[in-house]
Amino acid sequence: MAVDEKQLTEDILRLAATDVQRCMQCGRCSANCEAASKMDLLPHRVVWDLNSGYASELLEADAPWQCLSCMACEERCPRGVSPARIMEALRLLQIRQQGKNKLPAESVEHYPSDMPQQLLVAAFRKYNK
């Protein structure tokens, strides 16, 4: 089954909500990344691959799972590109492709009373697609 690179790239960009076209490949995101030593693809490389249309290769990478989501890459970017959001989008797409994105209402029926309701809403938005 052939992967539609264009559709996959659009899906990642829609989920990430960041403009990879603005990236000038300065490398500040990678230089400031705490998890860079554990990544197979550095943050600036992930942005470059996505911008170049290699989205299917990104889904096979280990980098999204090593990302700490600390947002330091976004803080350092002079153009406002967020590699951390791309990493989160890649993780989410992998979870959806594996079919593990279902969160049945019964599983949260008896949640602790001190749990914020916003957490439940966010979980349903993320895992019920």
Q: Is the pLDDT of residue 89 over 70?
A: yes
Q: How many CB atoms lie within 10 A of CB 88?
A: 17
SS3 27: coil
DSSP 86-125: HHHHHHHHHHHHHT-----GGGGTT--TTS-HHHHHHHHH
Q: Which two tokens stand for residue 109?
A: 């029926």
* Residue pLDDT, tens place only, 1-44: 456 889 999 999 999 999 999 999 999 999 999 999 999 999 99
SS3 6: helix
Number of alpha helices (DSSP H) and beta strands (DSSP E) in the chain: 8, 0
Per-residue pLDDT band at 116 (split at 50, 70, 90): confident
Q: Is the pLDDT of residue 113 over 90?
A: no
Check residue 108 and give its pLDDT.
66
Rounded Cα gap, residues 77 and 75, in angstroms: 6
Query: By CB neighbour count within 10 A (0-12 exposed, 13-18 middle, 19+ buried), where does 51 fall?
Result: middle
